[in-house]
Amino acid sequence: MNRLIAASAGALSMTLGLLTLPTASHSLAAQPHAVQLTHKGKSAKGTSVTVKGPKMLNWHTITGKGKAKNYPKASSVTVSVSHDLTNQMVHMTWAGFTPTNLQGGSPFYQYQFSLYPVEIVECKGSHPAKLSQCWQANNYQEQFGSNSNAVYSTTSGKGTGTADFQVQNSLQNSFLGCDSKHACSLVVIPSQGGLGSNCANHSQDDEQALGITTFGGSSDKCAWAKRVVVPLEFGPVLPCGKIRNPDLRIAGSPLMVDAMAQWDTGLCRQAHPITVAWNPSVGEPTAIQETVLDNLSDVALTTNPAKSVVSGSRKYTYAPIGVTAAALVYWFDDPNNGQPYANIRLDPRLVAKLLTTSYTDYSLQCSPNTTAPCDKAVNGNPADLFSDKEFLQLNKKVDEPDDAIGEGLGDVPIVSGGQSDITYEVTRWIEANSAAASFIKGHKDPWGTHVNAHYKGVKYPLNIFTGRDSSFLLQAAYTPVATLNFVTTAMLLGQPPGSNGFQPVVTGCPPNQQCFNPLAGEARGQRSLFAITDEADAATFLFPTAAIRNGGGNYVTPTATSMAAALKTMTTAKNGITQQVDLSSKNKAAYPLTMVVYALVPISGVDHSKASKIARWLDYVTGPGQTKGELPGRLPFGYLPLPATMRAQAQHVATEVLNQSGTTSTPTPTPTDTPTTPGADDPGTSPIDTPSGNPSATPTTSVPFPTATPTISTIALKAPATAGMTRYALPILLIVAGLAAVLGASMGAAAMGPGAVIERLRRRRGPPSSSGSN
């Protein structure tokens, strides 16, 4: 049965490909419905824009002969930002649209198999007349799939929907070529059924409006005719010019990816440009080692301090360069309307349950009837967050998403492997909470949930996530990814890493080989994904970010306010310089996972040429680089500008670097243990120096700073040009979309077959009464 379905899927793909292709690029003569632009207020920069659309089909009124009425009220689409756009995400909402029909297609909200989904595409010009002017997965403008930014979504029973869309400028998409001189638009295309050119005939809508095929099928004309066009204005696009040989080598801290990219495009515009070779994938501890010990890098970026900052003649100190945070992000889609939940709250114990894979996710539950492999280490625990009473007490009226079509385990957290300061901070926050710490030690929570036995007594904080439960399914599914970038990618694509542990049924696995199915991709409308990334990516990609419990018992999300509040609670390490959040602080406004990123820079032993480049770089990024904005040289989304004291501190260090003075008025960090001293195998081998226990101390402020040191101030610091930025992360993240979707969807279906999938989901969701519309 499974084989049959999969085989026919393969055969159909050929047919469908041929069918889809030509029709999609056909000229569609229909005029768009009158669209009226209604800027909110005075179209100031960054304000949202709302566009009125046509009256949409009301499928409740379809008669036996296929006739139907429209809703009496006109539809509308709102885009969060429509001016000075660069390569960025925008948030879209719509109202008055045709609700996605759960009776005729998929019983769940999802764009692939539901009736009346929505497609959103970016198009050339502000009045696109044909779909071929748009960048779409299946119109073959340039290539299939690979980096299409088209979004498919569904509409709730109330006619409303939301989506986040990555608009691309000319750097990311030369086909569209959007920049300050070339206007573009976002076009929302609602599936409206219809039969061929007869858009009033809805007698066969259950095929003509089904899933995303509708946008490449014979009824796409009717959908296109009711498109809603939102004009977009892009900012100028000014990348760096000449490719230069790197002046500096920097390693570490994936937290700084977004800021470093914008700083680089600002630095190259300086009278004396500085080019940085930096690899974000190097974790902080490795970066420190490669800088201090191996001299493979000139500067390390880190949050946790080094043990030793001396290597031969080279001596190092720290300069703060960025403030951001670890973000606990999620996509939990409401099964009642297909829209993502927001405002989720998590406490340390809930996060501990996720990170220790302590939920059974149905698949792992042991029962007498179970034939599948179960996991005694988690037996008796709730299936997932959504059946955990602790979660439900914190989050009222949150129903379990229709997640993980295929093979469960959708709640396995998406985290980065390798050593990481983010991992350290998150586990430190868990350990600081007595309820969570007690849970990990083996004490049950008030509802009887226990920690996964394999994780019992695991010592937090730690700076690397490693799997500990070797049970069949968890071993395959729980896969910390190589770099933080991949965490963000997985969230964007709805594609958890890891596999389901089952061998594929039909794909060509070579003989004498084991091959596994990747975990099923989770479609928009059904997602249940949880990940740990940084606030810069969370803000850039508009991920919903959990409000988490701080020492004051409040639930806070990372914002400028909450990160600034956290800075006030910081304690200072033994080195007298680096700081971390005091998790015992009762400050109710503080976001507890706020992190300061430091540049570990040499203050002796480096030649003048190199030293002056490091100094100028530091001077720039902690000077003009701390002004917010999505422009070259500016500080992008998700970072808090350094407070004045930290800026002064950094600029002071820049002088030290320039002069290579070695000893300064700053407390010179002394190595807490030296390479030749055995006996460092005490708790002090923790990467973190124990905080000095003086919560209010900000020792760096007591250091006298020159307001502007003569040497540094001679460095011309041109104001950053008003220009578009480049952000490398977005296109890279999108490129895999096609493939991941391919693998996820096809493998999942091949293994189980859609019938079985739906059956299984029904089982999981319990009695039908709970799955009705809201």
The pattern of x and - marking residues 198 through 217 that bind another protein according to CB under 8 A reads -----xxxxx--xxxx--x-
Looking only at residues 677 through 716 of this chain, which bind another protein when binding is defined by CB under 8 A?
677-678, 680-683, 685-687
Alpha-carbon gap, residue 591 to 578, rounded angstroms: 18
Alpha-carbon gap, residue 35 to 19, rounded angstroms: 31
Smallest gap from residue 295 Cβ to another protein (A): 8
The alpha carbon dihedral of 430, 433, 436, 439 has a sign of: positive
Alpha-carbon gap, residue 476 to 500, rounded angstroms: 6
Alpha-carbon gap, residue 432 to 426, rounded angstroms: 10
147 interacts with another protein by CB under 8 A? yes
The pattern of x and - marking residues 328 through 347 that bind another protein according to CB under 8 A reads --------------------
Looking only at residues 4 through 43 of this chain, which bind another protein when binding is defined by CB under 8 A?
5-6, 8-10, 12-14, 16-18, 20-21
Q: Which of 33, 314, 454, 764 binds another protein (CB under 8 A)?
A: 454
Alpha-carbon gap, residue 575 to 700, rounded angstroms: 11
734 interacts with another protein by CB under 8 A? yes
| Nearest in space to 186 (alpha carbons), one of 136, 94, 90, 122 | 122
Nearer to another protein by C-beta: 357 or 709?
A: 357
297 interacts with another protein by CB under 8 A? yes
Phi, psi of 732, deg, nearest 5? -65, -40
Degrees (nearest 5) of the Cα angle 515, 518, 524?
Answer: 165
Q: Which two tokens stand for residue 398?
A: 């949150």
Looking only at residues 659 through 678 of this chain, which bind another protein when binding is defined by CB under 8 A?
671, 673-678
101 interacts with another protein by CB under 8 A? yes
Q: How many CB atoms lie within 10 A of CB 69?
A: 13
Given a contact cutoff of 8 angstroms between Cβ atoms, the answer to whether 53 and 223 are in contact is no
Q: Distance between alpha carbon 262 and the CA centroid of its chain, in Å?
A: 18
Smallest gap from residue 757 Cβ to another protein (A): 9
113 interacts with another protein by CB under 8 A? yes
Alpha-carbon gap, residue 301 to 485, rounded angstroms: 17
Q: Which of 736, 751, 752, 761 binds another protein (CB under 8 A)?
A: 736
Alpha-carbon gap, residue 671 to 677, rounded angstroms: 11
The pattern of x and - marking residues 491 through 510 that bind another protein according to CB under 8 A reads ------xxx----------x
244 interacts with another protein by CB under 8 A? yes
Q: Which of 31, 36, 38, 146 binds another protein (CB under 8 A)?
A: 146
Nearer to another protein by C-beta: 428 or 652?
A: 428
Alpha-carbon gap, residue 744 to 757, rounded angstroms: 14
Nearer to another protein by C-beta: 81 or 757?
A: 757
Q: Which of 3, 447, 739, 770 binds another protein (CB under 8 A)?
A: 739
Q: Which of 131, 186, 328, 458 binds another protein (CB under 8 A)?
A: 458
Nearer to another protein by C-beta: 216 or 592?
A: 216
Given the rule CB under 8 A, which of 328-336, 561-569, 661-669, 728-736 is the region that contacts another protein?
Answer: 728-736
Q: Which of 483, 578, 580, 612 binds another protein (CB under 8 A)?
A: 483
Nearer to another protein by C-beta: 203 or 722?
A: 203
Nearer to another protein by C-beta: 382 or 625?
A: 625
Smallest gap from residue 659 Cβ to another protein (A): 25
774 interacts with another protein by CB under 8 A? no
Per the omega criterion (within 30 degrees of 0), is the bond before 461 cis? yes
Antiparallel, parallel or unpaired: β 69-70 and 57-58: antiparallel
Nearer to another protein by C-beta: 97 or 113?
A: 113
Q: Which two tokens stand for residue 201?
A: 């005939």
Q: Which two tokens stand for residue 644?
A: 């004045």
Q: Which of 148, 324, 578, 726 binds another protein (CB under 8 A)?
A: 726
117 interacts with another protein by CB under 8 A? no
The pattern of x and - marking residues 163 through 192 that bind another protein according to CB under 8 A reads ------xxxxxx--x-x-------------
Distances (CA, A) of 577 to 193, 318, 580, 600, 744: 64, 7, 10, 11, 47
Smallest gap from residue 460 Cβ to another protein (A): 8
Place of tokens 């949409």: 56
464 interacts with another protein by CB under 8 A? yes
Given a contact cutoff of 8 angstroms between Cβ atoms, the answer to whether 356 and 451 are in contact is yes
Distances (CA, A) of 473 to 352, 480, 518, 758: 19, 15, 12, 20
Smallest gap from residue 251 Cβ to another protein (A): 6
Q: Distance between alpha carbon 71 and the CA centroid of its chain, in Å?
A: 36
Looking only at residues 66 through 95 of this chain, which bind another protein when binding is defined by CB under 8 A?
66
Place of tokens 């949202």: 48
Burial 687-701 (b: 16+ CB within 10 A, else e): bbbebeeeeebbbbe
285 interacts with another protein by CB under 8 A? yes
Q: Which of 131, 163, 238, 520 binds another protein (CB under 8 A)?
A: 238
3-state secondary structure at position 41: coil
Nearer to another protein by C-beta: 261 or 648?
A: 261
Alpha-carbon gap, residue 95 to 158, rounded angstroms: 8
Nearer to another protein by C-beta: 66 or 667?
A: 66
Given the rule CB under 8 A, which of 353-361, 554-562, 658-666, 730-738 is the region that contacts another protein?
Answer: 730-738
Q: Distance between alpha carbon 2 and the CA centroid of its chain, in Å?
A: 34
Smallest gap from residue 158 Cβ to another protein (A): 18
Give the number of residues in contact with another protein, rule: CB under 8 A: 157
Smallest gap from residue 464 Cβ to another protein (A): 5
Alpha-carbon gap, residue 535 to 551, rounded angstroms: 20
| Nearest in space to 214 (alpha carbons), one of 63, 105, 338 | 105
Looking only at residues 424 through 443 of this chain, which bind another protein when binding is defined by CB under 8 A?
424
Smallest gap from residue 441 Cβ to another protein (A): 14
- Enter the DSSP assignment of 289: I
755 interacts with another protein by CB under 8 A? yes
